[in-house]
Amino acid sequence: MSGSDRRQQVLRIAAEEFADGGLHGASTELIARRAEITQAYIFRMFGTKKALFLEVVIAAFDRLTEGMRDAAGTETGLDGLALMGAQYNELLADRTSLLLQLQGFAACGDPEVRDAVRDSFGRMWQTVADATGLDAVTIKAFLAFGMLLNNGAALQVAELDEPWASGVRTRIQAGLFDHITTETNQ
């Protein structure tokens, strides 16, 4: 296996392990065992466990951000936002990436992780702002709704027959953000 292929293999395995166990719960020993390499080789490739964690967390944020940007294409305003929202909902099916984002937020007690997650979230915010041209309040509402969807997906609400879970699963209808304008929220 080439060095590049091995690195991709380790990143895939590490993403799964960190998604399940987080920064402190995942084991580089287990990642190495699953990749059939030594733990020392992981440290030669990535330096530290935290560096490996940050690489997979940032990649998960970037996939989401790039997916939304690509979905909007040349559409702007609420039309672009609607396309981003539809893509976001589809991307939630990637449970590993979803959980990596949440694990990134959970590990923000570490200043280095917090800075990396802030940067990733900031890129997401700026991507939505640049693609749609919408005001901060609308972007805030959109991303806040996305956080609810993240939590619902993490909780696997699709498997539950509970009134609250049904509410979380409610589909977003066109016009959800129409009432939010700069004028009404200054």
- Find all residues with CB under 8 Å of 115, minimum gap 6, and list them: none
Considering only CA atoms, which of 17, 45, 15, 41 is closest in space to residue 30? 17
Mean pLDDT of 81-109: 93
- Location of structure tokens 């466990």: 49
pLDDT over 90 (residue 169): no
Q: Each residue of 140-154: pLDDT tens digit?
A: 999 998 899 899 999
Q: Each residue of 125-142: pLDDT tens digit?
A: 999 999 999 999 999 999
Q: What kind and span of H or E run contains 168? A: helix 163-169
Q: Each residue of 9-53: pLDDT tens digit?
A: 999 999 999 999 999 999 999 999 999 999 999 999 999 999 999
How many angstroms separate the CA atoms of 185 and 51, rounded? Answer: 40
- Location of structure tokens 């940007």: 69
Considering only CA atoms, which of 6, 114, 3, 5 is closest in space to residue 57? 114
Q: Tell me the torsion sign for CA atoms 153, 154, 160, 166.
A: negative
- What one-character DSSP code corresponds to residue 61? H
Instruction: Please say whether the beta carbons of 87 and 27 come within 8 A.
Output: no
